A and B are shown apart, each in its own frame.
Chain A
């Protein structure tokens, strides 16, 4: 009976998650407890957006019921309370990813974070050309002849901002290709990332392929040539332990709504020395020191990049979501979802006419799987599954170039989270096995 003397917290950290625990977790998510088309909802679309536990919903409500006020302005009691809640939330989220408080910028979502970096970089070129700002800006300025490197597997959010940065600056956009199994071709990356490379932007984990990219190798390539590294951590931070310092990236972004928090809040991490010299993206109130009729001086990060009234209740809710993930144990969640991911792929591979994209079963992947059904369009697959109460994503998943590379226009994607059981996966697989017969394919 040695278990009796083991503290509950330690027990939790050593025991792997199982269906029994997941069923308890599900009680915290009211939205999951409903019938869709007369069948119990099987929610397999957390890669698009996750559900909120009661503690998160209540944190947002509590903020509005008791502490709502504008932050960083006003000396009254509520303003102080709101500011404290807002800044405590920043510290909590920063801690979760190993960042410093000053390096953690609130954004609306990851997309805004990536746009922020790309616009700050093109503003750096404008400032440097006019001798404005720190002399360090000259090194950050991008221009004709420079290269920006992304990968073939990027989400549009980590692709289009770089296309547009290339357009604004005259730089060239280059792509690291993928293998047919959805891995980055590091041999090619080593040749593409060269002395002209100024920015290397890539996803930590692919929202379509499920591939987890080798950050350390890619960062090492970027360091050799002095390029900035921008990491899209949307599909990693919610599902696995991420420490931005250990990864040694220059910037990283993620979204709250993919990690049990509401929409409208995301995070940009940036190294302090970079954030404090980069020009701002959005300008206005709350981010300035002195304003004259001619020009303004700007605060250091994070306020430097937080113009206007912020998303306060969402930030507070995101910190609560982070607590939920941390209390459950992010490594345990990662392990559970890896199990679900393998179950998905193995099951799909055994169904006739299904082509799973990304790593085959047995190879590492996050807890999602996208696939093509021979003779049936993804939209029809999604409709068929919805009729059985199963929610999946269909389409190009904001990755058109990747789908073109795979020779597809659309796929169906099932993506799991900590509240999914193996029964969810099995119900999904059972339904998928009936798709081709239904559509007479």
Chain B
């Protein structure tokens, strides 16, 4: 396992060009129900606040603020890009799949058909100390999704 497999170019790119970043600059579409979740990893200080808007069973918008390592920031960016436009059920199932891959210690391969760009985080699964970095925004999204749909 080389460092380059952990830090794939797509991750480095997303850590700099962050899709969905900036809560203050976005407003949820009219009529959408929203959920917002703040997650903190006290070990490293990674922090994400993510807001998600749902209308007609579809995720309309995912925006977030965060501070943290390249893995955590890129992961939030990829999630935001990937999740927008998905149905609520689809996003739930993608989150479940992402979690399964990340927690598998490298045993479960990422399927780009399901995870899209998020498949690039497959390498993180082999770095136990970094799994939480990749997961933090996804945990926030799951929480926000539950809020928006109940």
Contact = CB atoms under 8 A, between A and B. Distances in A.
Interface of A: 376-380, 383-384, 387, 394-396, 400, 409-410, 438-440
Contacts of A410: 44-45
User: Which of A378, A380, A394, A410 has the most CB atoms of chain B within a 10 A radius of its CB?
Assistant: A380
Contacts of A378: 44, 69
A380 B67 CA distance: 13
Contact of B68 (A377, A400, A439): A377
A439 B45 contact: no
A379 B12 contact: no
A383 B12 CA distance: 14
Give the top 4 A-B pairs by smallest Cβ distance, nearest first.
A379-B69, A377-B69, A387-B3, A409-B45
A383 B130 contact: yes
Contacts of B133: 379
Given A395-B43, A410-B45, A384 B67 contact: no
Contact of A409 (B12, B16, B67, B70): B67
Nearest to B13: A440
B6 interface: yes
Contacts of B7: 380, 383, 438-439
B55 to A, nearest CB: 35
Given A379-B69, A409-B45, 15 more contacts: A377-B68, A377-B69, A379-B71, A379-B130, A380-B7, A380-B70, A383-B3, A387-B2, A394-B44, A396-B45, A409-B67, A410-B44, A438-B3, A439-B7, A439-B70
Contacts of B68: 377, 379
A409 B45 CA distance: 7
Nearest to A409: B45
Contacts of B45: 395-396, 400, 409-410
A383 B6 contact: yes
Interface in B25-83: 43-46, 67-71
Nearest to A379: B69
A396 B45 CA distance: 8
A377 B70 contact: yes
User: Which of B12, B70, B71 has the most CB atoms of chain A within a 10 A radius of its CB?
Assistant: B70
A439 B70 CA distance: 9
A378 B44 CA distance: 9
Interface in B1-29: 2-3, 6-7, 12, 16
B7 to A, nearest CB: 7
A384 B6 CA distance: 10
Interface in B65-119: 67-71
Nearest to B43: A395
A373 to B, nearest CB: 12
Nearest to B70: A380
10 contacts: A379-B46, A379-B71, A380-B7, A387-B2, A395-B43, A395-B45, A409-B45, A409-B67, A410-B45, A439-B7
Contacts of A396: 45
Contacts of A440: 12, 16
A379 B16 CA distance: 16
A439 B7 CA distance: 9
Interface string B118-150: 000000000100100100000000000000000
Contacts of B71: 379-380
A13 B128 CA distance: 45
Contact of B44 (A379, A384, A439): A379
A383 B127 contact: yes
Contacts of B44: 378-379, 394-395, 410
Contacts of B127: 383
Nearest to A387: B3
A407 to B, nearest CB: 12
A387 B2 CA distance: 8
A379 B7 CA distance: 12
User: Which of A394, A400, A440 has the most CB atoms of chain B within a 10 A radius of its CB?
Assistant: A440
Nearest to B46: A379
B12 A439 contact: yes
B21 to A, nearest CB: 15
Nearest to B16: A440
A394 B44 CA distance: 8
Contacts of A376: 70
A245 to B, nearest CB: 39
A351 B91 CA distance: 44
Nearest to A384: B3
Contacts of B67: 409
A66 B69 CA distance: 50
A187 B4 CA distance: 50
A140 B43 CA distance: 36
User: Which of A379, A394, A396, A410 has the most CB atoms of chain B within a 10 A radius of its CB?
Assistant: A379
Nearest to A410: B45
User: Which of A378, A383, A387, A400 has the most CB atoms of chain B within a 10 A radius of its CB?
Assistant: A383
A395 B2 CA distance: 23
A31 to B, nearest CB: 19
A394 B46 CA distance: 12
A362 B46 CA distance: 34
A377 B127 CA distance: 17
A409 B73 CA distance: 15
Contact of B69 (A380, A387, A438): A380
User: Which of B16, B43, B69 has the most CB atoms of chain A within a 10 A radius of its CB?
Assistant: B69
